[in-house]
Amino acid sequence: MQYRVEPGTRVDLSRWDPDDVAGTDREAAREEKKQLSRRLRELQELLYAEHRHRLLVVLQAMDTGGKDGTIRKVFDRTNPQGVKVASFKRPTERELAHDYLWRVHPHVPGDGEIGIFNRSHYEDVLVVRVHDLVPKTRWQRRYDHIVAFEKLLADEGTTIVKFYLHISKDEQKRRLQARLDRPDKHWKFSIGDLKERALWDDYMAAYEAALSNTSTDWAPWFIIPANHKWYRNLVISRILVDTLEGLGMQYPPAEEGLDEVVIP
């Protein structure tokens, strides 16, 4: 499948073009995206009705990478009742008193649900690594922990797809400047974003390691070109529709005797 990281391969993000649109016409993409949104809505309703499968969508990106926008645009026609978003920010003291997966597991989707992680358990091999928050010997072991955790979820019926929204450093600069130029966007800007931006190369190395070590058959990573938001949304919508269609879902059988029911 396009943009999928094959298990066992080593990722070099410099070889993945964040500007790629695969020759796609933007107007044609807009029409296809509308169709995909309608189909995703149908499949989500089927997922909810059948109440047998679960879908976990993991979104990771650098600051301004488009995680929030992806959620808004890709899931714009789905029923909020069946879609749950969890955002994993700086751990609380209580969370830090437990293992790093303790705060994650309660948010995985249940039967019939789509769960979206806006950032995720991967922060513990990304931010933790870049800022040297725990010893290297400790965070290195976490790749195996994460693979095992996701295998557990998959074995218990959760379908997992993971998206790294790949933007360039120049595109991040443009998006940060756009936030700074608009007073109504100042709430989205933090001086801390610039400190993180200064660590760009360190983050690229951390992402390359995470993508290389944790893309599996049961929880694949997709590196999505994300400089162009319209193409990002199109590709992710395609992958989600293909994934859900592959589950072979069916509506549950109706109760017997419904053809004889008369509404008084």
Question: Could you read off the pLDDT of 72-96 as tens digits, one per residue?
Answer: 999 999 999 999 999 999 999 999 9
Q: What is the CATH number that goes with domain 13-18+42-247?
A: 3.40.50.300
- What is the residue-level pLDDT of the chain in tens, covering all 264 positions? 789 999 999 999 999 999 999 999 999 999 999 999 999 999 999 999 999 999 999 999 999 999 999 999 999 999 999 999 999 999 999 999 999 999 999 999 999 999 999 999 999 999 999 999 999 999 999 999 999 999 999 999 999 999 999 999 999 999 999 999 999 999 999 998 999 999 999 999 999 999 999 999 999 999 999 999 999 999 999 999 999 999 999 999 988 888 888 998
pLDDT at position 254 is 83
Percentage helix, strand, coil for the chain under 3-state DSSP, each rounded to 5? 50, 10, 35
Question: What is the Cα–Cα distance from 36 to 234, expressed in whole angstroms?
Answer: 8
Question: What is the Cα–Cα distance from 121 to 99, expressed in whole angstroms?
Answer: 11
Nearest to 223 by CA among 236, 238, 209: 236
pLDDT at position 31 is 97
pLDDT at position 219 is 98
For residues 66 and 163, the answer to whether their CB atoms sit within 8 Å is no
Angle between helices 229-245 and 26-50 (to 10 degrees): 40
